Amino acid sequence: MEIPNLLKGKLTDEMFLRLMELKNESVLDFLSWVVGHCDPESVYVLKGTREDQEYVKRRALETGEEIPLRVPGHTIHFDKPSDQARAREDTFILSEPIPFVNTKPRQEGLNEVMELLRGSMRGREMFVGFYALGPKSSPFQILAIQVTDSPYVIHSENILYRSAYDEFVKVGGNVEFLRFVHSKGTGDVKKRRIVIDFGGTVYSVNTTYAGNSVGLKKLALRLTLRRAVNEGWLSEHMAIVGLEGKETTHYVTAAFPSGSGKTSTSMMGKLVSDDLAFIRESQGIARAVNPEIGVFGIIQGINKRDDPIIWEVLHTPGEVIFSNVLMTESGEVYWVGSEEPVPRKGINYAGEWWPGKTNSEGVEIPPSHPNARFTAPLKSFRNADPRIDDPRGVEIEAMIFGVRDYTTVVPIAEAFSWAHGVVTMGASMESARTSAVVGKLDEMEFNPMALLDFISVSLGEYLRNYLEFGKKLRLQPRIYGANYFLKDMEGRYLNSKEDKRVWLRWITERLEGRADHLRTAVGLIPTYEDLRRLFKEVLNKEYMKQQYELQFSIRLKEYKNKYLRIRELYSRVKDTPREVLEILDEQIGRIDKDIQRYGDTFSPFNI
């Protein structure tokens, strides 16, 4: 095997040996191409050793992409003011048109991004990282290579993913791997592009926000989702959490749109994953792993009282990258919702900051961006589950689909069946937009399974795979619909942040056959008696009949409109399975019947 001269010229002897040891022609071809096209000054090949990790961290500081903070191991990174979230408008899948997906003809998309990448790494060091999604050597494992000229990006990957140079060596030449090419480019956000090619490569340029630049996170999801649909498993935007029961731990997954309660839910039990899940069937059981080993979480609103575990991670020496929060002169950080005193001045993503500072449009700049984040290893969290690296995955007993819905969906309900839950809870998700994506806040968006942004096949195909996956299962997970954000007529939240503990306990008791239910048109809801008991047991709170009635009355008219909208959307998708439309029609039929009997609202005390 030979290393082409162009690539060789960028390598020290040590780096040369590292590449040779892989004995993998396609890795060499890929890297030669990137080096030839992007023209970096030098190439650093990571084996993932301690020295490598330290080197990357040092380079992140030397290049100014990260700044050290007062707490040892903590650093801060800033993205450009207009590069603070996932950039939907600049993200393209190279494919024939797919409904709801931003696509571009392949050649056009490739030409465009190649033009932007040409010479983009000039004068910079290029890093090559080898990683595995999922536990190493497990049936879930997917190998990937990240190439980037940003030490911040590779530092983030080192925290978030399992290093797998050794796996590449082990499998030698004949291995498939995902490829991610990222360059900071000129930093001109107007020329930001994220381009997904089903050939197995994703290109990202002129952006640093991790959701756009860290390939193995949401860029990989587009590729793995498609692969999962083709191979009959699930690659999902879901947390995985172990809920402590009377006798055993019950593992559940939780899909919520970004910024709508997923991270906090994953802190309510044993933490396996806060964001992503690979789910495969094995001997009739759904088993799940986390493709990641770290958390890239939203920091706004994290405070000591509501989020003690995250708070601890963010205040203890250890590896943490803060992004887009406020940094003070003494190297402290501040973020909105921390319930700490607001500093009189500091530095944030928009430069120097002081209270009342406005941008060029006269709009006040907050001290921290609403999508400011922290990046930290899972093992830093005291609720990290010991089974994170279990190669068999954890057995999934329930799946939660949660929305940020102010007007309609009840706080918690159980589906009648797998198919009913998949269709009326997962596939019917509508949620208010948050700051995790660029766009207008609070607009209601259709967001099935919380992954419309990442879907890379037709929705009909995607749901067909879901329904078929369920049919392979001997033990189908129960499905729950959740909504932590329901409001009353005056616009006040009906639940406090901690109430989700009660809903999760109800799920646990349902799984153990200890809690009852009431049957409504849209699903099974908790009884008042059970909730009164659980609010007392879990939160030591009195739970009033009147609260229950406000929270669990079925707002039939709103529900009907919701399902009519959803049915209309799916009827326009050509390959929607018939079963999906049938289940939606049945749901609408049940709601209609109740409307005739009870009017616009159905009180659970009517039963």
Q: Please give the residue ranges that form the binding site for ligand SPV (CB under 6 A).
A: 86, 210-211, 217-218, 258, 275, 296, 436
Cα gap 8→145, rounded to integer Å: 19
Q: Could you count the other beta carbons within 10 Å of the beta carbon of residue 229?
A: 23
Task: Quote the least distance from Cβ 86 to ligand SPV, whole Å.
Answer: 5
Considering beta carbons, is residue 258 or 587 the nearer one to ligand SPV? 258
Considering beta carbons, is residue 211 or 402 the nearer one to ligand SPV? 211
List the structure tokens of 120.
Answer: 């983009």
Position 236 contacts Mn ion (CB under 5 A) = no
Q: Is 450 annotated as a binding residue?
A: no
- Residue 373, classed as helix, strand or coil, is strand
Task: Quote the least distance from Cβ 171 to ligand SPV, whole Å.
Answer: 28
Cα gap 475→179, rounded to integer Å: 36
Considering beta carbons, is residue 309 or 494 the nearer one to ligand SPV? 309
Stated as kind and residue range, the H or E segment containing 396 is strand 394-403
> In the bound complex, which residue of the shown chain has the CB atom lying closest to ligand SPV?
211
The two beta strands, 351-353 and 346-348, are: antiparallel
CB burial string 497-530: b at 16+ within 10 A, e below: eebbbbbbbbbbbbbeeebeebebbbbbbbbbeb
Stated as kind and residue range, the H or E segment containing 5 is helix 5-8
Q: Is 404 annotated as a binding residue?
A: yes
Q: Is 172 annotated as a binding residue?
A: no
Alpha carbon 464 to its chain's center: 23
Position 274 contacts Mn ion (CB under 5 A) = no
Q: Please say whether the beta carbons of 604 and 518 come within 8 A.
A: yes
Task: Quote the least distance from Cβ 315 to ligand SPV, whole Å.
Answer: 22
Considering beta carbons, is residue 211 or 523 the nearer one to ligand SPV? 211
Considering beta carbons, is residue 370 or 477 the nearer one to ligand SPV? 370
Which of the residues 260, 338, 431, 553 is marked catalytic? 260
Q: Is 428 annotated as a binding residue?
A: no
Q: Is 210 annotated as a binding residue?
A: yes
Q: Is 275 annotated as a binding residue?
A: yes
Q: Please say whether the beta carbons of 221 and 258 come within 8 A.
A: no
Alpha carbon 34 to its chain's center: 28
Q: What is the DSSP letter of 524?
A: E
Applying CB under 5 A, among 275, 385, 461, 594 the residue interacting with Mn ion is 275
Of the candidates 303, 355, 305, 306, the one whose C-alpha atom is nearest the C-alpha of residue 326 is 355
Q: Is 263 annotated as a binding residue?
A: yes
Task: Quote the least distance from Cβ 325 to Mn ion, whole Å.
Answer: 19
- Residue 63, classed as helix, strand or coil, is coil
Q: Please say whether the beta carbons of 120 and 149 come within 8 A.
A: yes
- Residue 27, classed as helix, strand or coil, is helix
Cα gap 271→382, rounded to integer Å: 9
Enumerate the β-bridge partners of residue 144.
131, 178
260 in catalytic set:
yes
Q: Is 373 annotated as a binding residue?
A: yes
Please tell me the total number of residues recorded for the chain in this structure. Answer: 607
**86 contact, one of Mn ion, ligand SPV, none, CB 5-8 Å limit per kind:** ligand SPV
Considering beta carbons, is residue 11 or 302 the nearer one to ligand SPV? 302
Binding residues for Mn(2+): 218, 237, 275
**Binding site for substrate: residue ranges?**
86, 209-211, 258, 371-373
Catalytically annotated residues? 260
